[in-house]
Chain A
Amino acid sequence: MIRFRDVTKHYPRSGTALGEVSFHVRKGEFVFLTGPSGAGKTTVLRLVHMEIAPTKGDVMVSRFSSSRIRRREIPQLRRRVGFVFQDFRLLERFTAEENVAFVLQVTGASRSEIKPKVHRLLDHVGLAPRATAYPNELSGGERQRVAIARALATDPLVLLADEPTGNLDERASIGVFELVRRVNGLGTAVIFATHDATLLRRYQDVRVLELERGRLVYDSGTDAAVRPPLRRAPGAPIFELLDEKAAASRAGEGAGPTA
């Protein structure tokens, strides 16, 4: 569904951000995109979102190709690609439900369908009781949940998450990650950019794409043998918590992690 073919992105000032990267993400797949800061993770996500065009190569998202897409088709693409940011980017003057409703309003949903859908989305991310709270009244984890609900409002085929747990403490990070896993379990593909080693260690079943200085150096989906599998650090409290959440999630939805 998302295919990078020899994609190079060159910026006039800062040089090459991405060099000849090729990979394919299938429908409903969950992929970790990892690598140190400046490796090109955000560039990959922005290419999928078609905020930028590749200098060379082609990015294909659903039926849209970066080399052929027209300006007026980009809104259609964006409705199929949800985006979650590290800094949430919620509108501070709107409540949680208004933030989600805003997306539906601006993408042309009818008034009668907005209210029930907002309620369902907030319920889905576990924030129905906080629907009328303003962003500054919510914790970091809660804000990211609102942002996820907002990103899901247009029923995207893929959810792009750019370091969504980067501003959160461990507990909140796990909660947000579990939520994204549940979203994936319902059929939405996910590209989860992170350099949080604990998450990577914990979820070894998840495909990992690793970037380094703009090059794709590791793809566990195709060459997992290139380097030994990551091992979880035993006994760390964070994992117990995660296991509990995962178990609860599996029991509730049948779509939790398989670790």
Chain B
Amino acid sequence: MRPFREALTSLVRHPVLAVLSVTSIGLSLFVVGLFGLTAHNIASALSNVEEKVEIVAYLSDEIGEARVRLTRSEIGSFPEVLSVRYVSKTEALYNASRELTEFSDVFPDLDVNPLPASLEIRLRAGHRGPEAVSAVASRISAYDFVEDVRFGRDWVNRIHTLRRIAGGAAVILGGSFALVAMLLVGTTVRMSIHARSSEIAIMENVGATAGFIQRPFLVEGLMTGLLGGILALALTYGAYRLLDRAVLEVLWMPDGWTLAGILTGGLLGMLAAGRSVRRELRSLYAI
């Protein structure tokens, strides 16, 4: 209980410093929060797009129906494959006439259906990366009655590059801001240590344990970080509401992320405080 009381007293005793420190860590984490919001929305958009990634295998006209059924179940049993749908020549023609309305007059007049039958293969989540898609596609193209395989290789690659850039930027920006926040909390804790140097000297003089002396400062860092995290959450939520109402439909982050954000604030605060404590109180009980 005492470390919390002491930490609170210390924060209340230097209100300007405390507000400055909480605000700065709050603003830093707010930037991280905004980025998290963006990253989450990008990720969710990407996964929507990715779900549509499919491989289309065009079949030769000579293949019999029994063979198609067998192949379908063979491909369906690949571990990467979610579903296999057979599109017959007739269905392909019907789809084409419906989608390409400008040619709708042409299709009924055709004597021979020029469109091939095909298998539309969708992959399971986790197997939609460029390598997995290529691997499955090449296995399918090995069937002699498969005339062509299409899977939009470039498109798959581009989606993944985008996601990697988003992830990298999150790490770099988040890391830089976290570093700034830590420096600020560290400075605040250092100032608290200096403000209490005469008390610390007396504690050391009469035999308070090192842990007893250090703990309130660690708790101060933790509290500053947690308060900063909560402030950042409030600011991020405000920004989300504003964006959602005024600009475009935005998804809110998962609860796990917000909790992790606040805890990260606390952890950063405590780490920063620990660094200051180690530096400032290095000589504690050293002879």
| A residues with CB within 8 A of B | 49-53, 66, 69, 71-72, 74-79, 83, 89, 91, 102-103, 105-108, 150-151, 153-154
Query: Which B residues touch A91, using CB under 8 A?
Result: 198-199, 202
Contact partner, A153, options B201, B206, B285, B286, Cβ 8 Å: B206
Q: A78-B205, A103-B206, A106-B206 are in contact. Are A52 and B198 (CB under 8 A)?
A: no
Query: Is B132 interfacial (CB-CB < 8 Å)?
Result: no
CA distance A53 to B287 in the complex (A): 5
Shortest beta-carbon contacts, A-B, top 7: A78-B207, A106-B208, A79-B207, A75-B207, A53-B287, A74-B285, A103-B206
- CB-based contact A107/B207 at 8 Å: yes
- CB-based contact B202/A102 at 8 Å: yes
CA distance A72 to B207 in the complex (A): 10
Task: Give the A-B contact count at a CB cut-off of 8 A.
Answer: 58
Kindly provide the distance from the CB of A98 to the nearest chain B CB, expressed in whole angstroms: 11
For A73, the closest partner residue in chain B by CB is: B285
- CB-based contact B287/A66 at 8 Å: yes
Query: Is B96 interfacial (CB-CB < 8 Å)?
Result: no
CA distance A72 to B202 in the complex (A): 17
Kindly provide the distance from the CB of B234 to the nearest chain A CB, expressed in whole angstroms: 35
CA distance A50 to B287 in the complex (A): 7
Centre residue among B199, B212, B286, B287 by max chain A CB count within 10 A: B287
Q: A89-B198, A91-B198 are in contact. Are A154 and B206 (CB under 8 A)?
A: yes
Q: A51-B287, A53-B287 are in contact. Are A75 and B210 (CB under 8 A)?
A: yes
Contact with A along B160-204 (1 / 0, CB 8 A): 000000000000000000000000000000000000001101111
Contact with A along B212-236 (1 / 0, CB 8 A): 1100000000000000000000000
- CB-based contact A75/B202 at 8 Å: no
Q: A89-B202, A91-B199 are in contact. Are A71 and B286 (CB under 8 A)?
A: yes
For B13, the closest partner residue in chain A by CB is: A93
**Besides the known contacts A83-B205, A102-B202, A106-B202, 4 further A-B residue pairs in the complex with CB atoms under 8 A apart:** A75-B285, A91-B198, A107-B206, A153-B206
Query: Which B residues touch A108, using CB under 8 A?
Result: 212
Q: A75-B207, A79-B207, A91-B202 are in contact. Are A106 and B287 (CB under 8 A)?
A: no
CA distance A77 to B210 in the complex (A): 13
For B206, the closest partner residue in chain A by CB is: A103
Query: Is B90 interfacial (CB-CB < 8 Å)?
Result: no
CA distance A89 to B203 in the complex (A): 12
CA distance A227 to B207 in the complex (A): 40
For A81, the closest partner residue in chain B by CB is: B207
Query: Is B209 interfacial (CB-CB < 8 Å)?
Result: yes
- CB-based contact A89/B201 at 8 Å: yes
CA distance A78 to B209 in the complex (A): 10
Centre residue among A49, A53, A79, A107 by max chain B CB count within 10 A: A107
Question: Could you pull out 12 A-B pairs where Cβ atoms are within 8 angstroms?
Answer: A74-B207, A75-B210, A78-B205, A78-B206, A78-B207, A83-B205, A89-B198, A91-B199, A91-B202, A103-B202, A106-B206, A107-B207
Contact partner, A107, options B201, B208, B286, Cβ 8 Å: B208
Query: Which A residues touch B203, using CB under 8 A?
Result: 106
